[in-house]
Amino acid sequence: MEVRSWEYDEFPAFSEEIPGATWLDTTGDEMGVAYVPNVEYECVDGISRVLQILIPTSRNFKAPRDDRAASRMYPCVVYVQGSAWMQQNVYGNLPCVARLSALGYVVAIVQYRDSSVASFPAPVQDARNAIRFMRVHAEEFAVDPTRVAVMGDSSGGHTATYAGIMHDDDSEHNLFPGTSAEVKAIVNYYGSTDLDFDDSNPCTVNHNLPDSPEGMEMGGINLREDKAARELLTVRHNIDEGTQVAPVLHFHGTKDRTVNTRCSVLLHQRLVETGHDSTLYLLRGADHGGPEFWTPQVLDIVDAFLQKHLK
């Protein structure tokens, strides 16, 4: 065989019969994931924020950063990593999130401005700008800009659901004028969406006080005394019959010691009673996150939900 630069289609396959070898067929559509790290999507007040972008790839489809144009465009999930609104570890959950990408989704993990540098609604504004960024750079990252969802866990679940109901940030907060931040689906993993009952965070002994995660997210105020601020941070209090909300899928463990299961229950109930599309799954015995939320069974449910709404 001549040694030269071979094209895949013309390269002769090995076909020699080898005693004891087992032959397995491949199609070229077996899916892997290409990782594009630390893509800056915004710089606000000198604060740079980045995305971790995961792109499905296979033998028949190379990710567009492999020096070729994308031959296939995928739906996009903008994923907000939880952190109690503090500094995020956007790399810690990459192996699990990659399982979702391998099902055929470009996933962009959002680093938002944490509570040490900016107060609410900064994370929501950042998530919506990340959505816009992925639309602006759709061709570069193999994204179908008409099929975008938002997803998040814990405080990221709060940010993701809020990003799906905030529609009035198209002024100075919009870094990409003329580009939509609307989504067709929302996935809420055990989101800290409700701060308006006493044990909403069962292990947070300073719950709603100025130095609590939620107090710091609101600028270091006492949420026990400031009812208006507490209700502003609680997603369900900002939803009524006229609110534009994409279909929402919730997952929450029944032994969540960090974010009370009732947070997702109350949000789901509010969505249903105001006429919105909401589906709730409760995972028996699951705590705050963990492998239970990334099983094939759960990912099949997430995949079916996204396929339905990202047609």
Would residue 12 count as lying in a domain? no
Counted domains in the chain: 1
pLDDT value at position 170?
A: 61
Asked if residue 17 is part of any domain, the answer here is no
pLDDT computed for residue 65 by the predictor? 54
- Residues composing the chain: 311
**Helices and strands (H and E) in the chain: how many:** 7, 8
- Confidence check: pLDDT of 239 > 60: yes
pLDDT tens digits, one per residue of 162-186: 999 998 766 788 999 999 999 999 9
Let me know if residue 14 belongs to a domain: no
- Structural domain contains residue 1: no
Strands 47-57 and 106-110: antiparallel
Average pLDDT over residues 245-258: 98
Mean residue pLDDT across the chain: 94
Whether the pLDDT of residue 68 is over 70: the answer is: no
Mark 268-304 as b/e (b = at least 16 C-beta within 10 Å): bebbeeeebebebeebeebebbeeebbeeebbebbee
| Residue 3 domain-assigned (yes or no) | no
Cα-Cα end-to-end distance for the chain: 47
Query: How much is the average pLDDT of 122-147?
Result: 96
Of 139, 92, 106, the closest CA to residue 33 belongs to 106
Q: How far apart are CA 153 and CA 160, in angstroms?
A: 8
In a domain, 102, yes or no: yes
pLDDT value for 70: 55
Q: What is the mean pLDDT of residues 20-35?
A: 95
What is the share, in percent, of the chain residues with pLDDT greater than 70?
Answer: 96
What is the model's pTM?
0.94
Which residues form the domain of 223? 31-309
- CATH code, domain with 72: 3.40.50.1820
Q: What mean pLDDT do residues 226-243 have?
A: 97
Residue 16 forms part of a structural domain:
no
Q: Is residue 68 situated within a structural domain?
A: yes
Q: Which two tokens stand for residue 243?
A: 């609110």
pLDDT at residue 137, rounded to an integer: 96
